Structure 1
């Protein structure tokens, strides 16, 4: 990285962290002792924060924005964490107002940040502008403003597009998708008939959307950004109680999974080649928790991925679940040695072998203080 700051060298201390682990295979529930190896991320030059963005860019993690625990006091700074050396480099000032609860995506060469709640022109203002940061050149450039403002939204980058769904406009949710053509610096708006709660890019320009319809039941749609079209995706997920939590992830190479949970059971569903979503397993919702809690208006989000080993990984606060669709093995971990740290939720990042989480809230004590600590969690092999 090239900038006018010296890199802050910070040692990374390894420790074997005890986590409570429950392991079971389909039809053969049981208990197994297990542990994950967790390392503390070295001291950061950034203040403690929530509502920030975190983007994985090859061997670096780009963190930007957020707030002090009050969205009326957003941050305007960021930093790059080297995942190989463990040091930090500050990111130069961006050409946009400080903000929190914005979205950020990695295009392959740039980090684009957009939207969120800003302090200008007034505290709590929802933004529709954004900017792109190029780490190799250590420079920012503004992007065209979108047709709508948005905060607490979702975003994916795929096939030359940044697609934004969900979130809120002013004091209400929105059903519209915003699609940004990166090379053309141009936006368009697409109305959808569901409230988008989860998104995943399934291929170049193709995005799977999951959420609730006007009857507040589970609904899935497919969006084609190149043709600006949506279509209904059939599914066989039969929830006996209202949908409570949701998760969606794809490796972009044909492996796409959805988690949907009511108060008692989590359904694991796979998107087949013909586009249908079919249930492949069900588990107790305590053991397999989808990452997005729909009862929290989109403010309590974790993250979900498909790992290089084709395992489903769901992170929800201190709860980490891994599920192997081929063997049916499910393992649920819960932090014990770091029980005071709730993690950074949706801003966690997955590398080939680790989960990286930085910032967020401490979860002990009445004040739920925010933090600038982070953890590197080695994935089970």
Structure 2
């Protein structure tokens, strides 16, 4: 009986804890969203303020030049006052005084605008830090919630094992949260931005047609079509980054062919893919691994190698899988550490997990060749 009461009390405590944490997460999310909206508003206000500052500087410089000429004119009139009438002298004096007053006001407004600009920049930096901290805290709370939703009744029995696995589990969940945040940012910075631009350009097309400017409208339609194509590519790229559906449905080789065709078409780049051996379905982990290897190798070649031709060869042998990726890009010195070598490091780690080997042959100006061999016996 006491044990049952204890279990109920524990469940009550856990449920209360979960509710508190979830409410905290919602509050942090709201703070983050409000900060993000304020950030966007400040960016817009900062742009407008910078334009005003530049305009005031330009107006002030022009007016300062006019004041200089007017003062010279006033000095001349004062020196030879007997040559000018009283009205002419008064007119020159009043005009000079008015311009000097206007210049002083302009410079004062410019000073105020500069202070406002500097203050906006400081607030933007502070808001960016707030958003970053809120995102980090939300990720950590998500980790806690994932644990709290697990079955706590087995905690006492598995406490020793949990201690050993805790650090590893946290890393996995944090990696999941980081991946979700990355996907969210990619969608926001990629397709979402492109679709917003497409909507804007479509409105321009509509207005242009109403004005009967057919040639300009056709040009805008071509631009919209190009933006739609880029948006579609970004969506496909994100899907491929997550997990290409064709990999489960068709297998490794058809998926690689489709991916190669997409990359080749989008980047206007010649990519050749050849497969040798029996075309069959492989163990799932090998299909995933080799697709990711091809994906990373092509992305490296496109981004960093500046290649015009990439060749990919995959051979399914009796006892191993062999893949060669070769490009005619600018190459690099494999013996030197490079800031952008994280892709190659990830490829090597993936190959080593499959107990395989990876060799990189490259030299500056002569392209790069990657040779991968992994032991594999078809089941």
TM-score normalised by structure 2 residue count: 0.22
Structure of greater relative contact order (alpha carbons < 8 Å, 6+ residues apart)? 1
* Structure with max Cα Rg: 2
- Greater per-residue strand proportion: 1
- Greater per-residue helix proportion: 2
